[in-house]
Chains A and B, each alone.
Chain A
Amino acid sequence: MRVSDSMMFGSVQRSTSGAQARLFETAARASSQRAIDKPSDNPTAAARAVRIERVLAELDSAARTRNTVRTDLTVAESGLRSGIEVLENALELSIQMGNDSLSPTDRRAAAIAVDEHIKTLRGLANTRMEDGRYIYGGTRDGSEPYPAAGGYIGGQSSRMVNIAPGATFDSAVVGSQGFGDTDLSFKVLEDFATALRNNDLAGIQTAQEAIGRQLDATIPNLTGLGTRIQALDSMDTLAANNKLALEIQRGSIVDGDFAKLISDFNAASTAMQAATSVGKQMLAFAFGSLSG
Chain B
Amino acid sequence: MATLQEIFSISSAGINAGRNTASIAAFNIVNAQTPGFARRVSNLQTGATIGMGVIAGPAQAIRNTILARTLMGGQSRLGFHDAQLSALQVAEPALNDLDNSGINKALTDLRSALDILSATPAGTAERQGLIGAAKSLALTFATTSRQLTDAARAATDEARDVVGDINEAAKNVATLNARIRTNVSGEGDLVGLIDQRDQILTEMSNNLDIQVVSQKDGSVLVFAAGGRPLVTGTGASSFEVGPAGTPGSFEIGVTLTKPGGAKLDPLAPLGGRLGGLIEANNGVLGSQAARLDEIAFSFVSGFNTQHQSGTTPNGQPGGTFFEPISTVAGAARSIVVSAAIVADPSLIAGAGATPSGSTDNANFLALADLPNQVGVMADGSSIVGAYDAMVFNLAININNSETGSAIETASVLQIQTLIDSESAVNTADEEAKLVQARAAFDAASTVTTTVTNMLDTLLSMVG
Using CB atoms and an 8 Å cutoff, list the residues of chain A in contact with chain B: 1-7, 9-10, 14, 36-40, 43, 46-47, 49-51, 53-54, 57-58, 60-62, 64-65, 68-69, 131-133, 137-142, 154-157, 159-162, 168, 171, 254, 286-287, 289-290
B323 at the interface (CB under 8 A from A): no
Do residues B361 and A50 form an inter-chain contact, with CB atoms below 8 A? no
Q: How far is the CB of A26 from chain B (nearest CB, A)?
A: 17
Output the least CB separation between A44 and chain B (Å).
8
Query: A39 to chain B: which residues have CB within 8 Å?
Result: 92, 95-98, 391-392, 394-395, 398
Can you list the 5 inter-chain pairs with the closest CB atoms, starting with the nearest? A139-B357, A157-B356, A140-B357, A4-B424, A39-B395
| CB within 8 Å for A6 and B361 given contacts A61-B111, A133-B122, A289-B431 | no
Q: Is the CB of A6 within 8 A of B425?
A: yes
Question: B182 on the interface (CB 8 Å rule)?
Answer: no
What are the residues of chain A within 8 A of B121 when measuring CB–CB? 159
The CB with the most chain B CB atoms within 10 A, among A68, A137, A139, A155, is that of: A139
**Which residues of B sit under 8 angstroms from A53, Cβ to Cβ?**
97, 100, 104, 108
Are A64's CB and B116's CB within 8 A?
A: yes
CA A162 – CA B366 in complex, angstroms? 11
Contact status B356-A156, CB under 8 Å: yes
Instruction: Tell me if B454 is interfacial: C-beta within 8 Å of chain A.
Output: no
- Find out whether the CB atom of A289 lies under 8 angstroms from the CB atom of B120: no
B359 close to A142 (CB less than 8 A): yes
| Distance A7 CA – B420 CA, assembled complex (angstroms) | 6
Chief secondary structure at chain A's binding surface? helix
Inter-subunit contact B120/A6 (CB<8 Å): no
Q: How far is the CB of B205 from chain A (nearest CB, A)?
A: 19
The B interface is mostly helix, strand or loop, or mixed, namely helix
A159 to B121: give the CA distance in the assembly, Å.
10
A39 to B104, CA, bound (A): 13
What is the interface of chain B, defined by CB distance below 8 A to chain A? 32-33, 39, 89, 92-93, 95-98, 100, 104-105, 108-109, 111-112, 115-116, 118-123, 313, 355-362, 365, 368, 384, 388, 391-392, 394-396, 398-399, 402, 413, 416-417, 420-428, 431
User: How many whole Å from A35's CB to the nearest CB in chain B?
Assistant: 11
* A290 near B427: Cβ-Cβ < 8 Å: yes
The answer to whether A159 and B359 have CB atoms under 8 Å apart is: yes
Given A37-B98, A39-B92, A160 contacting B32 (CB threshold 8 A)? no
Contacts of B108 in A (CB 8 A): 53-54, 57-58
CB distance from B36 to the nearest CB of A (A): 11
When the two chains form their complex, are residues B123 and A57 in contact, meaning their CB atoms are under 8 A apart? no
CB-nearest residue of chain A to B396: A43
Q: Which chain A residue lies CB-closest to B313?
A: A142
The chain A residue sitting closest to B401, CB to CB, is A40
A sample of 8 inter-chain contacts (CB < 8 A) reads A7-B420, A38-B395, A46-B391, A57-B112, A68-B116, A139-B355, A161-B118, A290-B428
User: Which of A5, A64, A131 has the most CB atoms of chain B within a 10 A radius of its CB?
Assistant: A5
Question: Could you tell me if B96 and A54 are in contact, using CB atoms closer than 8 angstroms?
Answer: no
Per the bound structure, the CA–CA distance linking A54 and B421 in Å amounts to 56
